[in-house]
């Protein structure tokens, strides 16, 4: 079924590369110009276009031919777009990972790249654009806009989604070694993302009603501290079956589950806000085909994976019109979240994760720079400390880009999106600039060893 769906998607996206005869993907891309002549057009349309142009302008045959070709090229583009939309609507489960994206990742399928990865990347980037970083503002460290205005205000009025709720998170962190007590910003909730649902028109285009949760990455000081709390803690999301061997990073868990009862905009933990709103939307659209899409950058991708696991572990995605509602996570520059048992449980529950990762991005190697997948097994034999090893979840879309003049771009979300749009060509880097990353990675390794030793 997955192979047939990929074939349909390929046919839809390559139809724009065929006019009068077959053209292979190796010679022409979706962005390549297509030459159209009058001989390629249906006779009826050709005659009408030629007659109209000749009588109105009296121009030369060359002008007539160009105008007719331009008009027909626009019609061809509309047909191609309709074909791509039809393919997306008919194969949306495969696009959401039902077949683990087999045949769609290497190379990255154009429809998966444009309609899914880049599109959801932009919906995550909207969180950064709407986040208020002006200390003089009344909305400092919160969203600058109301729910109805947020997407239009950041240039995404045509995204096809309606924001239904803002989400806030409050990490419960303390400074290391007890210095200065608790962090001054710990326990204070900050705007972390939003929940949105596809409009009727967008639902028809996608082939289902998409419930979207979008998370930004690390910005505040307390969030940075949470990122470095790399000790593994049991998730215990299901009280009836706590599964103590399923462990996740304690900092991400704190951000996801901590309450802020004094918050101006909040009502409970990030977890409670999300479970309440997502279940409300599931119930509201119970007669539709529904998908749950969770997207995030950096720390936000960790929250997206935790939410996906939480929904599936509690069974809140069961009972959809067509059975279990698919849960898909699109992660951009995301770190590892949990141990090997966490990965196994996500796989058992059917939580699909597509990780877009830059090979030069150090965040994608953390936590678990030392204790990771490579240290968990020897010749497929699990070692005694495997439960303490971090493991990535899902399927990876590997990128490779670096700019010597702007080293921080390796983790920048806009750089990720632009690189996907450019086709994923590898970028070069100078040896001198790469040396600056080596001491940083060494420091991270030393820190993890200290945490492992309990220091």
Closest CA to 121 of 83, 159, 94, 85: 159
Q: Is 361 a known active-site residue? A: yes
The CA-atom distances, in angstroms, between 277 and each of 147, 284, 293, 323 are: 14, 10, 14, 20
User: Hey, which residues does 147 pair with through a beta bridge?
Assistant: none
Please state, in angstroms and rounded to a whole number, the distance separating the CA atoms of residues 356 and 416: 8
Please state, in angstroms and rounded to a whole number, the distance separating the CA atoms of residues 189 and 73: 52
Q: Are 255 and 298 in contact (CB under 8 A)?
A: no
User: Hey, which residues does 247 pair with through a beta bridge?
Assistant: 234
Annotated catalytic residue within 361, 392, 412, 419? 361
* Cα 448 off chain centre by: 28
Phi first, then psi, for residue 415 (nearest 5°) are -65, -40
Q: Are 115 and 81 in contact (CB under 8 A)?
A: no
Positions of E strands within 217-349: 232-234, 247-249, 290-297, 327-332, 338-339
Please state, in angstroms and rounded to a whole number, the distance separating the CA atoms of residues 450 and 455: 5
User: Hey, which residues does 331 pair with through a beta bridge?
Assistant: 296, 355
Closest CA to 260 of 141, 144, 367: 141
Three-state DSSP class for residue 270: helix
Peptide bond into 85 cis (omega under 30): no
Structure tokens at 306: 């935790």
Structure tokens at 440: 């940083």
In the chain, % helix, strand, coil (3-state, to 5) comes to 45, 15, 40
Annotated catalytic residue within 109, 297, 392, 411? 411
Annotated catalytic residue within 222, 254, 269, 298? 298
- The residues that are catalytic are 298, 361, 411
């Amino acid at each position: 079924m997955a192979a047939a769906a990929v074939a349909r998607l390929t046919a839809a996206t390559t139809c724009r590369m065929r006019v009068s005869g077959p053209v292979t993907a190796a010679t022409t891309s979706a962005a390549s110009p297509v030459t159209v002549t009058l001989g390629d057009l249906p006779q009826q349309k050709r005659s009408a276009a030629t007659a109209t142009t000749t009588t109105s302008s009296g121009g030369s045959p060359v002008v007539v031919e160009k105008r007719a070709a331009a008009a027909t090229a626009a019609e061809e583009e509309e047909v191609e777009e309709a074909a791509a939309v039809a393919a997306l609507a008919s194969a949306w489960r495969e696009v959401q990972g039902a077949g683990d994206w087999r045949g769609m990742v290497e190379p990255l399928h154009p429809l998966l790249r444009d309609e899914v990865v880049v599109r959801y990347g932009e919906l995550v980037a909207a969180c950064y654009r709407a986040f208020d970083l002006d200390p003089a503002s009344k909305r400092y460290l919160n969203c600058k806009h109301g729910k109805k205005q947020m997407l239009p205000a950041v240039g995404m009025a045509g995204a096809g989604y309606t924001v239904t709720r803002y989400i806030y998170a409050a990490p419960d962190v303390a400074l290391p070694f007890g210095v200065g007590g608790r962090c001054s910003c710990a326990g204070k909730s900050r705007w972390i993302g939003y929940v949105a649902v596809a409009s009727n028109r967008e639902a028809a285009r996608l082939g289902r009603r998409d419930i979207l949760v979008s998370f930004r990455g690390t910005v505040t000081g307390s969030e940075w501290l949470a990122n470095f709390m790399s000790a593994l803690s049991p998730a215990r999301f299901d009280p009836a079956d706590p599964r103590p061997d399923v462990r996740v990073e304690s900092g991400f868990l704190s951000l996801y589950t901590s309450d802020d009862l004094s918050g101006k905009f909040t009502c409970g933990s990030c977890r409670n806000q999300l479970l309440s709103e997502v279940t409300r939307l599931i119930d509201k659209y119970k007669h539709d085909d529904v998908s749950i899409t969770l997207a995030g950058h950096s720390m936000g991708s960790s929250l997206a994976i935790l939410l996906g696991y939480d929904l599936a572990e509690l069974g809140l995605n069961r009972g959809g019109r067509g059975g279990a509602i698919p849960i898909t996570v699109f992660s951009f520059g995301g770190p590892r979240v949990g141990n090997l048992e966490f990965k196994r449980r996500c796989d058992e529950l059917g939580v699909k994760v597509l990780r877009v990762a830059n090979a030069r991005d150090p965040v994608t190697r953390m936590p678990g720079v030392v204790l990771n997948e490579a240290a968990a097994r020897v010749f497929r034999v699990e070692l005694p400390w495997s439960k303490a090893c971090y493991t990535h979840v899902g399927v990876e879309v590997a990128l490779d880009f670096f700019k010597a003049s702007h080293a921080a771009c390796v983790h920048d979300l806009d750089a990720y999106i632009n690189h996907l749009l450019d086709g994923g060509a590898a970028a070069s880097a100078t040896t001198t600039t790469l040396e600056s990353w080596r001491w940083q990675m060494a420091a991270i390794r030393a820190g993890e060893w200290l945490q492992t030793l309990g220091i």
